[in-house]
Amino acid sequence: MTYRIEKITKIIILLIMTAALALTGAVPSFAAADNNSKDGRMVSSAEIDWEDAPDVEGTSVIMIDGGSGEILYEKNAEERRDPASITKILTCLVVLENMDLDDEITVAEDYDGAGENIAVKADERFTVEQLLYAMMVGSANDAAEVLALAAGGDMETFCDMMNERAKECGAKNTSFTNPNGMNYAGQENHRTTAYDIAMIAREAMKNDTFRKIVSTAEYRIPTTNKSEARNIESTNPCLGLYEGTTGIKTGTTSVAGYCFCGSAKKDDTELIVVNLNSGREQRFSETIKLWDYGFSKYYTYKAAEGGKVLAEERVSRGDKRAVNVGVEEDFDITLNKGYDRKNISLKTDIDEDLKAPIKKGTEVGTITAVNRDGEAVAASPLIALENVDEGGILSYIGIADEDRLFFFAGLAAAVILFMIIVRIIKRMNYRKNKRRRAQRQRNVRRREWEKERNPFDRNV
């Protein structure tokens, strides 16, 4: 009996361990992919043929796919130049990320600077929203300075905020010393590149409020405590000239020349052009030529949607057995017109042995788009889409907190089953012993009966 109970106990323990392993191993694995990415992305498979691109007079020019960031045309794109009022793209983005639209600002003093302005007056009150429209639609230099002082406290601090944000956008050679791009004495180092402006504009266009502002052709600031209502018209003529124009900003100074950063969208493809130091009208006509060229040759394919779960990956020592993994933003790829997107497949390469705690947004691997020849055409970081906290003591043996109830329920069921089996065995043994006792009693009575019948049998 003891042997049978021990054997059954071992079987039950084995079943419990098997169930625990099933709980900890129920996460799919994924094929790995080579990653030769630079700055989080790989070069697209789009064959850039600049020989048939239109001629442009601008000194520094670039066109990118606003979705993928792919460079589709460039001319001296890394040359450091003065950007004039295109500076305000970054000013607007920094203000939007640090202030609310309905925040009220009181002007400290009358504006006596040069260039476009709305003639703000000392003690005049505006909302942040009104000043942003004045700055981006009408290119008001005074609005830019008022916003910078409100957001940064002082001009130097705000410029530090701008330059730090520029780096986060992917800019590599930008140093801004004022918020409006004016050529102030002693600020000759106010410089950037066409490439950097394209990266900043691409990041800014991810902000819905920014997109709304820069796509506005006319804006009206109502009467303030110091001035009558102001009607503001956009300095961007492409908003009325080119179907699909979505923004962004003009710029002109004697040092910078005529500059323009423009964006246009057709279907799911948005192209951003930066044209520095071109002609007064050519900056717009050249941008339109580049848009036509870009839309005729390329399109944007959304390979993966930002925030959508693409995979689950096993996590050890966590309150969850797995973490949902995806891309933070849409994973866009630039493809040649005529190239079938069905030829693109996705592979994920997720870090091994992920351990809790894991914070939402933590990079945990790479997703790679591969063409039918097995060549990587683009890549993007994979991130954790949720938090995974450190689990309890059971997580150290592979049982996540979320599985504890199931584990203990299974354990309780196993104990009950064990007790039932033990009871059955005891009952079976009791009946067996009872039969044995009855048999022994029958044997004794038979021997006694046989002895009585044959008293001379000495062997009885």
- State the CATH number of the domain containing residue 375: 2.60.410.10
Cα dihedral angle (157, 163, 169, 172), rounded to 10 degrees? -170
- Is 286 a domain residue? no
Domain membership of residue 271 (yes or no) is yes
Q: Per-residue pLDDT tens for 200-244?
A: 999 999 999 999 999 999 999 999 999 999 999 999 999 999 999
User: Is residue 284, in this structure, part of any structural domain at all?
Assistant: no
N- to C-terminal Cα distance for the chain?
34
Q: What is the pLDDT of residue 441?
A: 79
Tell me, yes or no, whether 72 and 205 share the same domain.
yes
Confidence of residue 448 (pLDDT cuts 50, 70, 90): confident
Q: Are 386 and 410 in the same domain?
A: no
Kindly report the CATH number assigned to the domain that includes residue 210: 3.40.710.10
Q: Does residue 96 form part of some domain? A: yes
Provide the domain count of the chain: 3
| Distance between CA atoms of residues 198 and 200, nearest Å | 5
Query: Does 123 share its domain with 73?
Result: yes
Mean pLDDT, the chain, rounded, equals: 85
How large is the average pLDDT for residues 280-284? 97
pLDDT, one tens digit per residue, over 354-381 is: 888 889 999 999 999 999 889 999 999 9
Examine residue 292 and state whether it is found in any structural domain, yes or no: no
Catalytic residues: 85, 88, 139
Q: Is the pLDDT of residue 445 over 70?
A: yes
Same domain, yes or no, for 250 and 317?
Answer: no
168, 268: one domain: yes
Tokens linked to 390: 């450190």
Task: Give the contacts of 294 (CB within 8 A, at least 6 positions apart).
Answer: 63, 65, 72, 73, 269, 271
Whether the Cβ atoms of residue 399 and residue 316 lie closer than 8 Å to each other: no
Question: Percent of the chain, pLDDT > 90?
Answer: 64
Please indicate, yes or no, whether residues 135 and 12 belong to a single structural domain of this protein.
no
Distance CA 224, CA 127 (A): 10
User: Higher pLDDT residue, 400 or 325?
Assistant: 325
Indicate whether 87 and 200 sit together in one domain. yes
Q: Are residues 238 and 257 in the same domain?
A: yes
Give the number of other CB atoms < 10 A from CB of residue 410. Answer: 16
Among candidate residues 278, 307, 324, the one where a domain is terminated: 278
Domain ends where: 278, 307, 327? 278
> Do residue 8 and residue 43 come from a single domain?
no
Rounded mean pLDDT, 168-179:
98
| Interval 314-331 mean pLDDT | 85
Read off the pLDDT of residues 254-266 as tens digits, 9 standing for 90 and up. Answer: 999 999 999 999 9
Residue 191's region, left for phi above 0, alpha for psi from -120 to 50, else beta, is beta
* Token pair in block for residue 140: 């008001």
Can you give the pLDDT at residue 331?
96
Q: What one-letter code names the amino acid at 235? A: T
Residues in Cβ contact with 26 at an 8 Å cutoff, skipping those fewer than 6 apart: 321
* Residue 342 pLDDT greater than 60, yes or no: yes
Within a domain: 288: no
Same domain, 307 and 437: no
With respect to residue 456, please indicate whether it lies within any of the assigned structural domains: yes
Are 51 and 68 found together in one domain? no
What pLDDT sits at residue 227? 97
Tell me which of 264 and 37 has the higher pLDDT. Answer: 264
Q: Do 94 and 240 have their domain in common?
A: yes
CA distance 208 to 331: 18
To which residue do tokens 């020019």 refer? 61
**Domain-located, residue 230:** yes
Residue-range definition of the domain harbouring residue 149? 58-278
Q: How many CB atoms lie within 10 A of CB 166?
A: 24
Is 434 a known ligand-binding residue? no
